[in-house]
Every structure is written in structure tokens, then in C-alpha cells.
Amino acid sequence: LSVRPIPLVVRSRALENEFLIDNAMNKVETIIPILSLIGSLAKEKFCNPLGQPISKPTWADSSDFDIIDRFVRMCRNLSHYHS
């Protein structure tokens, strides 16, 4: 699993082209096989096997720690798979 930031500029238009706003940000691109990622996300119930997101009302009550912990476990599993 490798991650690389990609500089990205997003241009926003408002009020019928009266002004433009350029927002610079980094897009994060992961370099892993997409099927492995979708499989891991589906296993953790973030999406279905087709990659479509799943929403559950109980997730709204999850603590930041729980959300980050689930993400870290998923990344660790992907890392072990590719090592």
C-alpha cells in the first residue's frame, strides 16, 4: 500500500461568473488494486461488494476513535495482504 499526494487546483464559480475562486489542495491517491480495496471496505460494512456505500444510522453515534480504529484495521489488513 502506498499513498502519494497530488497537487490539485479546484476552480469554483459563483454568481454567474462574477468571480472565480481557486482552491489549492492535495488529492490523495492510493496505489493498490481496487478490487482488494472494495473487498476490504465491504468486509468492514462500509460498502456492498459492488463498491456502493452503505449508510447506517448507528454510525452517526460512533466516536472519532471508533471510526479511526476501523480505518486503521482496514489499512493494516491491506498492508499485510500486499507484503
The domain spans of the chain are 2-81
The model's pLDDT over 59-69, given as tens digits with 9 standing for 90+, comes to: 678 888 887 88
* pLDDT recorded at residue 43: 86
Q: Is the pTM of this model over 0.75?
A: no
25, 34 Cβ separation under 8 angstroms: no
CA 41, CA 62: separation in Å to the nearest integer? Answer: 17
As a whole number, mean pLDDT of residues 32-38 equals 76
Query: What is residue 3's predicted lDDT score, i.e. its pLDDT?
Result: 58
In tens, the pLDDT along 41-61 reads 888 888 899 888 887 777 678
Q: Cα 61 from chain centroid?
A: 20
Q: How far is CA 79 from the centre of its chain?
A: 16
Residue 30: closest CA among 5, 9, 48, 58: 5
Per-residue model confidence (pLDDT) at position 31: 64
